[in-house]
């Protein structure tokens, strides 16, 4: 029987009247992979911070290795072997991987002078523990996200970690990288190290977890072996509602499509090194999915369609007319909108208010006399769009950074919809969005298609594509290799197709 490492007993945490955690109790055993799922605001981050000693609990206690603490300090938590890997990894982008791994270790031992041979040795030994291949001399800022994460994990191991807490570790990873990470995690489990990870991605949680725990509104609502849960049950526990997603039915006659040219047609679009000979069309009311592994070129395709990184050869037709998309302005002029992969850096002005973010594309529609901004018109437009997209906020003047992921994504959508696009290209539209909001966003997307907009969704979230698209294009190494009607294929088959014959 596995030994208990961490026991959380009746932890509650209040913040000025808000109950972030309400009597939460659970156990983490040695060598256990435990997943923590919950929507935004469920208390996940607070719970992690209590365990890490960053927040003292209002009541309850934490027992680590048999030692009970009513109030933990970060240094004690670290000494007991708890290491937290936050989403930003806390690495130094200007230093090498080896240095990132070893520097902290040296600092703790009060070293004044650096012996580079020793630094390399420490890093090499540490990374051998997880058996991966990362160039230790590379500058961390140049490394891909997946490698940076491995460096962060390796650094955690050097502190003699017994429990590693990972906060949304797979958000920025591709399928392949996720599998790599899981292999590493399983390897750690073999060594008796426990992992507690927090994730939104229910299907991944299912494949890696030994046990799963669900938080909702600060309370623990479910806890059991991974085998006892399925996706529907998990979604139900997380949101308290039945989440049933149905697919999307495309009805060509509903949009008078039978005589009209497609909204978007591309022919032999190429950008050497990224994608080649891409041809497809999107009709009014269709939701077409594009998927593929890392390097397949699907994001490059999205960027080309939107004029960020235009294709070098090939033709593009909007509504049957040949157009040239050489810049973002061209794309917008032809009614193409783009919801980007990374809403935080590419989709929103984080420091600005929600309202301003919503109207930023249609500023010219909010002008009054003399060409100056009319705050009345702006408020009208803001109200119209926040209502249409159900953006939940107390005040549209709050900074958009205060919103949850799902609501932020709605703001990005509102911004583009306000400009009445004909074609909407969406890249990873529900990345980092919790399950409840995800479903709502999917319904929203289907509604938009129902209004006649042609939608292209780039995603590696296969359930998402199966639920929202009527057609899916599979890309591999820059080419479209296959096309499916969602009615003719299952998710498993799609998954197989995605990963087959790549080596």
Q: Which residues contact another protein (rule: CB under 8 A)? A: 90-95, 99, 103-104, 106-108, 111-114, 138, 142, 144, 271-275, 294-300, 312, 478
Q: How many residues does the chain have?
A: 503
Nearer to another protein, 164 or 449 (CB): 164
Work out how close the CB of 140 gets to another protein at its nearest, in angstroms, rounded to a whole number: 9
Work out how close the CB of 279 gets to another protein at its nearest, in angstroms, rounded to a whole number: 18
Q: Which two tokens stand for residue 195?
A: 């992992």
Q: Calculate the CA 258 to chain-centre distance.
A: 38
Handedness of CA 211, 217, 218, 219 (dihedral sign): negative
Q: Which two tokens stand for residue 14?
A: 């209040």
Q: Is 450 left (phi over 0), alpha (psi -120 to 50) or beta?
A: alpha
Nearest in space to 123 (alpha carbons), one of 145, 107, 100: 100
Q: Are 380 and 372 in contact (CB under 8 A)?
A: no
CA distances from 11 to 2, 63, 81, 476 (A): 23, 11, 20, 49
> How many Cα atoms sit within 13 Å of 186 on the Cβ side?
10
Q: Which two tokens stand for residue 432?
A: 């980092």
Nearer to another protein, 144 or 224 (CB): 144
Nearer to another protein, 427 or 437 (CB): 427
Nearer to another protein, 3 or 142 (CB): 142
Nearer to another protein, 99 or 434 (CB): 99
Work out how close the CB of 91 gets to another protein at its nearest, in angstroms, rounded to a whole number: 6
Nearer to another protein, 42 or 100 (CB): 100
Work out how close the CB of 392 gets to another protein at its nearest, in angstroms, rounded to a whole number: 30
Work out how close the CB of 292 gets to another protein at its nearest, in angstroms, rounded to a whole number: 10
Which residue carries 């149905």 as its tokens?
A: 246
Nearer to another protein, 163 or 271 (CB): 271
Nearer to another protein, 146 or 378 (CB): 146
Which residue carries 């600092």 as its tokens?
A: 107
Q: How far apart are CA 481 and CA 3, in angstroms?
A: 50
Work out how close the CB of 359 gets to another protein at its nearest, in angstroms, rounded to a whole number: 30
Q: Are 130 and 158 in contact (CB under 8 A)?
A: no
Work out how close the CB of 307 gets to another protein at its nearest, in angstroms, rounded to a whole number: 16
CA distances from 457 to 117, 233, 299 (A): 49, 27, 10
Three-state secondary-structure class, residue 424: strand
Work out how close the CB of 141 gets to another protein at its nearest, in angstroms, rounded to a whole number: 8
Nearer to another protein, 174 or 357 (CB): 174
Nearest in space to 29 (alpha carbons), one of 61, 65, 62: 65
Q: How far apart are CA 280 and CA 92, in angstroms?
A: 43
Q: How far apart are CA 213 and CA 226, in angstroms?
A: 9
Alpha helices in 240-326 (DSSP H): 298-305
Nearer to another protein, 187 or 295 (CB): 295
Work out how close the CB of 248 gets to another protein at its nearest, in angstroms, rounded to a whole number: 26
Work out how close the CB of 296 gets to another protein at its nearest, in angstroms, rounded to a whole number: 8
Mode of pairing for the β-strands spanning 59-64 and 194-198: unpaired
């Amino acid at each position: 029987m596995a030994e208990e490492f961490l026991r959380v007993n009746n932890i509650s945490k209040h913040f000025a009247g808000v109950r972030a955690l309400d009597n939460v109790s659970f156990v983490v055993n040695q060598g256990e992979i435990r997943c923590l799922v919950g929507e935004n605001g469920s208390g996940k981050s607070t719970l992690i911070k209590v365990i890490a000693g960053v927040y003292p609990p209002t009541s309850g206690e934490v027992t680590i290795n048999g030692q009970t603490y009513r109030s933990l300090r970060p240094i004690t938590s670290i000494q007991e072997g708890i290491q937290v890997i936050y989403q930003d990894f806390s690495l130094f982008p200007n230093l090498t991987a080896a240095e990132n791994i070893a520097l902290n270790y040296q600092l703790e031992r009060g070293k004044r002078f650096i012996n580079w041979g020793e630094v390399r040795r420490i890093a090499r030994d540490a990374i051998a523990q997880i058996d991966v291949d990362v160039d230790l001399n590379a500058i961390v800022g140049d490394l891909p996200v997946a490698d940076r994460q491995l460096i962060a994990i390796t650094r955690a191991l050097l502190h003699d970690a017994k429990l590693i807490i990972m906060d949304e570790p797979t958000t920025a990873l591709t399928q392949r990288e996720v599998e790599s990470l899981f292999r590493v995690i399983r390897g750690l489990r073999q060594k008796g190290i426990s992992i507690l990870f927090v994730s939104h991605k229910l299907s991944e949680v299912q494949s890696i977890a030994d046990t799963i725990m669900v938080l909702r509104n600060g309370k623990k609502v479910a806890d059991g072996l991974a085998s006892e849960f399925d996706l529907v049950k998990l979604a139900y526990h997380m949101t308290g509602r039945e989440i049933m997603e149905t697919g999307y039915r495309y009805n060509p006659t509903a949009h008078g499509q039978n005589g009209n040219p497609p909204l978007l047609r591309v022919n032999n679009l190429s950008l050497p090194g990224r994608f080649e000979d891409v041809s497809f069309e999107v009709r009014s009311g269709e939701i077409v999915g594009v998927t593929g592994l890392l390097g397949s070129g699907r994001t490059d395709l999205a960027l080309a369609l939107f004029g960020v990184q235009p294709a070098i050869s090939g033709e593009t037709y909007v509504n049957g007319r040949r157009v040239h998309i050489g810049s973002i302005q061209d794309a917008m002029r032809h009614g193409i909108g783009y919801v980007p992969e990374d809403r935080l850096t590419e989709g929103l002005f984080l420091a600005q208010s929600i309202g301003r973010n919503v109207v930023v594309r249609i500023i010219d529609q909010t002008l009054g006399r003399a060409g100056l901004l009319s705050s009345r018109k702006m408020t009208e437009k803001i109200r119209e769009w926040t209502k249409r997209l159900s953006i939940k906020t107390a005040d549209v003047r709050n900074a958009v950074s205060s919103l949850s992921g799902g609501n932020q994504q709605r703001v990005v959508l509102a911004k583009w919809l306000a400009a009445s696009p004909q074609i909407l290209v969406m890249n990873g539209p529900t990345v980092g969005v919790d399950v409840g909001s995800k479903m709502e966003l999917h319904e929203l997307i289907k509604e938009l298609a129902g209004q006649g907009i042609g939608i292209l969704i780039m995603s590696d979230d296969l359930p998402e594509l199966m639920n929202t698209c009527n057609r899916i294009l599979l890309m591999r190494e820059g080419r479209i290799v296959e096309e499916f009607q969602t009615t003719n294929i299952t998710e498993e088959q799609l998954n197989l197709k995605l990963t087959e014959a790549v080596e």
